[in-house]
Chain A
Amino acid sequence: MLQQSAKRMGHAAIVLVIVAIITFTLMRLIPGDPVLIMLGGEYSPEVYAKLKTQLGFDRSVVYQFFVWAQNLVGGDLGYSYIAHERVSKILSDTIPVTIQLSICSLIVAILIGIPAGVLSALGRNSWLDYLGMSFAIFGQSLPSFWLGILLIWIFGVQLSLFPTMGYISIREEFWKGLYHMVLPSITLGSFYAGMIARITRSSLIDVLDQDYIKMARAKGVRKRVVVSRHAMRNVLIPITTITGLQLGMLLAGAVMTETVFQLPGMGRLVATSILNREYQVVQACILIIAIMFIGVNLVVDLLYTLLNPKMRRA
């Protein structure tokens, strides 16, 4: 077990180094000059030269990388020249928002997706199935920002049921925080609900065709018990894998939802930082996302061993 963990850590470290190098390089390959952006409309050559030296962009790329890497190892995530703030401080404000949104969206996705998938599978080829799968495809096809704006206008403006924007931390005000999370979670979660529903449906259909299921039914076990105790265990394995991967995407891909609902999370931060060529912020964010992604997949692996005895080693 320990050996496995050490191996995992090693792999993770290598992945992170590669991610760091790629991010660093890609940012500098994009056309567009961070100094120009900071100057905005009031550019002049003298001002430009001054600022460029002040920001250290006149040194070689390799030199810049090593300075950054060295700081990173020492715990210094860098400095935002536009925000005049340490990156670690900016991230400490934004990460909780994204985590809250991601977890709520994932819960919504699971709460909608799994039951929908199960019902579709059990009522295969009936109206229930068609309804369920239509919703699933709908969820996966609608662009999230469009769905978000639609939900705001119907449930926020016309029906006044939910707030149209803003973030409140669940840790500070639990119910109010959740209330503000409803529409964003549905927006972000609908895609994954659709995906989970379809995977649940096809996995369950596969599993229900297995011999041991037929055996259990032949023994007289009630259908509900067969499904919940015997079948779902096996269905949960592919669902867990996909969900683990999706959580990583959720973390990174919430830009549209965060923009529409005015949530100050990492998605928006990365997007605006890329547009502003805030190298240090983008690099730090991508690394954090990579770390979270790796972390989530480690957890998924652990869950595997719990769900599937065959995966456990003596």
Chain B
Amino acid sequence: MHEEGYKKRLADLLAMDFNRRAFLKGVALTGFSVVGGSVFGTDFVRPSPAMAQAAAKRGGTLRVAWLSSVDFLDPHYTAVTAGVQMCGNIYNGLLKITYDGKRVEFKPDLAETWEMPNDRTHVFHLHKGVKFHDGSECDASVIKWNLERVKAKESASPHAWKLALLDNIEVLDKHTVRLNYSKPYAFFPVAMNGTTGRAGTVVSRQAVEKFGKAIARNPVGTGPFKFVEWVENDRIVIARFPDYFEKGLPYLDRVEAKLMTEASSAVAAIITGEIDGLTTIPFQFAKQLRANPKINVYTQVGGNYLFLGMNCAKPPFNDLKLRQAVSFCIDRKAVIDQLLFGEGIPAHGPISPPMSDFFEPDWSKGNNGQYFDLDKAKALMRESKYPNGVECDYVAAATYTGELAGAQRNAEILQGMLAKIGVKANIKPFERAAYRKTLIDGNFNLFDYYWAFDLDPDETIYPELHSGESWNWGKWNNPEFDKLVEDARVTLDVKKRKEYYGKANRLVADQAPYAVIAHVNEFKVFGKHVKNFNPIPAELVNLGDVWIDKG
């Protein structure tokens, strides 16, 4: 098949369609700066760079409250949302995620063009003259060095798994690099994008050779902003990189990211105008901020799911009927109202709306997959090994306001629902570090968690539910599921992948290693004077083409 065909299939594969009307019903959307919702299935309308530039004003400092902690600014190691968000402004990758309000696509970033001569080979022609913030040049040999750094055992990068199928990298000439895979890899564009991918993010070789691991605090990339300082527990400051390869960008002079943990203080500060934006907000503030005439709240259902996880390796939840009973006893609507303040939609399976090539809106409603049916739950309890009820441990974590994964609030709400079918859950709170260890060691019966900023089913169910994988804390082992997701990973045929993931989705819903609860809204908040912010539903906060209208 000729190369255009492969590339188009891969691009289509991962392009996602947003039907905002269907999934954002009841969620007020204000001030979406990109026209999108009314244009259906045709060419998108987006302010072209020229258009935006004509109106854009250069200069100014954007103050943003970064509401979760940043771990490292080395993209090959960063493992948290806030780290990815900040790295997105300092680094580029071979590809980038673009979103026009309707479709998410993966487009070449540091590469000028991206070709696939066959389904295992990717050829990138790089932009010429791209410089790192330290002046060194970004050419094909640096790209190769970067990918090898992530893959190398000595590096111990947590993102090495995304390059597991990468056999070798060839430098064809100064600006051309060829990646040879052992099998077709459907997840490739997600892995190679410069923000959430991290495996394909490009760091300065010269800087790593100079700073070593300390590049985590002295990042040097090719991105629109270069690193200025990181004052511990206080702020990270980045400033315009004048030699950025996209001419004219960025508009802003500086960005000050205030590292805050207390959301109510941040909300007060944006209302008074002391800061210009927030990277997220706790659900209870969404309504209040939307009502403020000076503030835009960008809302969309993210690629995520909140769930109650069960330890399938030991009693009592190694009993299938019990797990199924649990999956039907949760009143998802009530959880969304009480826990998420209405900011979300019920989940019937783990695959979420942004993965629109795989999300099945018709299946994902009514009595399909997992849903609330107390009578059915009670009937299943009677068929299980524990008709008279059972007691178990439910581990939870101490969290800051707004953190969702494992929060004690979740446990308290779900505990009540479990009690209705006779499952007596004893909540055991841990602080964060101990909580993580408990999960990894398997010392629990129940836990709840939240997988977020995923754009493809591969990253949202493979490492979490495939047997033996490091995030499969409940130790679920289902050979049929394993085969489905393994096959889906190595084919580029969208129809086939949809079939595999459809089966996998139904299998997870039926066998219930997780009781999936909701797909949750993501928020980005900016004052109305901040223009041209384009929210990408992978929790990204890309500020490269944002400008401030002080007028």
Which chain A positions have C-beta within 8 A of B214? 84
Is the beta-carbon distance between B232 and A269 smaller than 8 angstroms?
yes
Is the beta-carbon distance between A37 and B436 smaller than 8 angstroms?
yes
Confirm or deny: B79 has a beta carbon within 8 angstroms of a beta carbon on chain A. Answer: yes
Provide the bound-state CA to CA distance between A269 and B231, in Å: 12
Is the beta-carbon distance between B265 and A264 smaller than 8 angstroms?
no
Residues of B252-272 whose CB lies within 8 A of A: 258, 260-262, 264-265, 268-269, 271-272
Nearest CB on B from A95, distance (A)? 12
Is the beta-carbon distance between B265 and A164 smaller than 8 angstroms?
yes
Is the beta-carbon distance between A32 and B232 smaller than 8 angstroms?
no
Is the beta-carbon distance between B156 and A152 smaller than 8 angstroms?
no
Is the beta-carbon distance between A272 and B69 smaller than 8 angstroms?
yes
Which chain B positions have C-beta within 8 A of A272? 69, 233
Confirm or deny: B153 has a beta carbon within 8 angstroms of a beta carbon on chain A. Answer: yes
Provide the bound-state CA to CA distance between A41 and B158, in Å: 9
Is the beta-carbon distance between B232 and A259 smaller than 8 angstroms?
no
Which chain A positions have C-beta within 8 A of B231? 93, 264
Is the beta-carbon distance between A264 and B233 smaller than 8 angstroms?
yes
Nearest CB on A from B190, distance (A)? 15
Confirm or deny: B458 has a beta carbon within 8 angstroms of a beta carbon on chain A. Answer: no
Which chain A positions have C-beta within 8 A of B431? 32, 275
Residues of A142-186 whose CB lies within 8 A of B: 145, 149, 152-153, 156-157, 160, 163-167
Provide the bound-state CA to CA distance between A40 and B435, in Å: 12
Also in contact, A41 and B268, with CB within 8 A (given A36-B436, A163-B274, A275-B431):
no
Q: How many A-B residue pairs have CB under 8 A?
A: 125
Also in contact, A269 and B274, with CB within 8 A (given A36-B440, A262-B265):
no
Provide the bound-state CA to CA distance between A276 and B431, in Å: 10
Confirm or deny: B159 has a beta carbon within 8 angstroms of a beta carbon on chain A. Answer: yes
Is the beta-carbon distance between A51 and B156 smaller than 8 angstroms?
yes
Is the beta-carbon distance between A42 and B158 smaller than 8 angstroms?
yes
Residues of B136-156 whose CB lies within 8 A of A: 153-154, 156
Provide the bound-state CA to CA distance between A34 and B436, in Å: 11
> A44: nearest residue on chain B (CB-CB)?
B470
Provide the bound-state CA to CA distance between A21 and B156, in Å: 33
Confirm or deny: B56 has a beta carbon within 8 angstroms of a beta carbon on chain A. Answer: no
Is the beta-carbon distance between B233 and A41 smaller than 8 angstroms?
no
Confirm or deny: B437 has a beta carbon within 8 angstroms of a beta carbon on chain A. Answer: yes
Which chain A positions have C-beta within 8 A of B161? 44
Confirm or deny: B434 has a beta carbon within 8 angstroms of a beta carbon on chain A. Answer: yes
Also in contact, A31 and B437, with CB within 8 A (given A165-B269, A268-B233):
yes
Is the beta-carbon distance between B274 and A149 smaller than 8 angstroms?
no
Nearest CB on A from B322, distance (A)? 28
Which chain B positions have C-beta within 8 A of A36? 433, 436-437, 440
Is the beta-carbon distance between B434 and A31 smaller than 8 angstroms?
yes
Confirm or deny: B8 has a beta carbon within 8 angstroms of a beta carbon on chain A. Answer: no
Residues of A215-260 whose CB lies within 8 A of B: 259-260
Is the beta-carbon distance between B440 and A43 smaller than 8 angstroms?
yes
Confirm or deny: B109 has a beta carbon within 8 angstroms of a beta carbon on chain A. Answer: no
Provide the bound-state CA to CA distance between A167 and B259, in Å: 13
Confirm or deny: A211 has a beta carbon within 8 angstroms of a beta carbon on chain B. Answer: no
Return the contact of A94 from the options B217, B218, B233 (Cβ within 8 A): B233
Confirm or deny: B529 has a beta carbon within 8 angstroms of a beta carbon on chain A. Answer: no
Confirm or deny: A39 has a beta carbon within 8 angstroms of a beta carbon on chain B. Answer: yes
Is the beta-carbon distance between B272 and A157 smaller than 8 angstroms?
yes
Is the beta-carbon distance between B262 and A262 smaller than 8 angstroms?
yes
Is the beta-carbon distance between B156 and A264 smaller than 8 angstroms?
no
> B438: nearest residue on chain A (CB-CB)?
A31
Return the contact of B217 from the options A38, A83, A165 (Cβ within 8 A): A83
Most chain B CB within a 10 A radius of its CB, from A44, A82, A259, A275: A44
Provide the bound-state CA to CA distance between A199 and B269, in Å: 37
Provide the bound-state CA to CA distance between A46 and B264, in Å: 40
Also in contact, A276 and B262, with CB within 8 A (given A84-B216, A85-B232, A268-B233):
no
> B79: nearest residue on chain A (CB-CB)?
A40
Provide the bound-state CA to CA distance between A74 and B159, in Å: 39
> A41: nearest residue on chain B (CB-CB)?
B79
Confirm or deny: B112 has a beta carbon within 8 angstroms of a beta carbon on chain A. Answer: no
Provide the bound-state CA to CA distance between A84 and B260, in Å: 20
Confirm or deny: B471 has a beta carbon within 8 angstroms of a beta carbon on chain A. Answer: yes
- Fill in one digit per residue for A25-61: 1 if any B CB lies within 8 Å of its CB, else 0: 0000011111011111111111100110000000000
Provide the bound-state CA to CA distance between A82 and B83, in Å: 13
Confirm or deny: B213 has a beta carbon within 8 angstroms of a beta carbon on chain A. Answer: yes
Nearest CB on A from B405, distance (A)? 9
Confirm or deny: B71 has a beta carbon within 8 angstroms of a beta carbon on chain A. Answer: yes
Confirm or deny: B287 has a beta carbon within 8 angstroms of a beta carbon on chain A. Answer: no
Provide the bound-state CA to CA distance between A85 and B260, in Å: 20
> A149: nearest residue on chain B (CB-CB)?
B264
Nearest CB on A from B460, distance (A)? 13
Nearest CB on A from B90, distance (A)? 16
Provide the bound-state CA to CA distance between A42 and B216, in Å: 16
Provide the bound-state CA to CA distance between A45 and B161, in Å: 13
Which chain A positions have C-beta within 8 A of B79? 39-42
Provide the bound-state CA to CA distance between A277 and B436, in Å: 13
> A152: nearest residue on chain B (CB-CB)?
B268
Most chain A CB within a 10 A radius of its CB, from B156, B157, B213, B265: B265
Which chain A positions have C-beta within 8 A of B264? 149, 152, 260
Provide the bound-state CA to CA distance between A45 and B470, in Å: 8
Given contacts A31-B433, A84-B213, A94-B232, 12 further A-B contacts (CB under 8 A): A31-B434, A37-B436, A39-B79, A40-B80, A44-B470, A47-B156, A93-B234, A152-B265, A260-B265, A262-B258, A262-B260, A268-B233
Q: 16 A–B contact pairs at CB < 8 A?
A: A31-B430, A37-B436, A41-B471, A44-B161, A44-B470, A47-B157, A84-B216, A152-B264, A152-B265, A152-B268, A157-B272, A259-B262, A262-B260, A262-B262, A262-B265, A269-B233
Instruction: In the A-B complex, list the 9 residue pairs whose CB atoms are closest, starting with the nearest.
Output: A42-B158, A32-B433, A40-B79, A264-B234, A50-B156, A47-B156, A84-B217, A32-B434, A84-B214
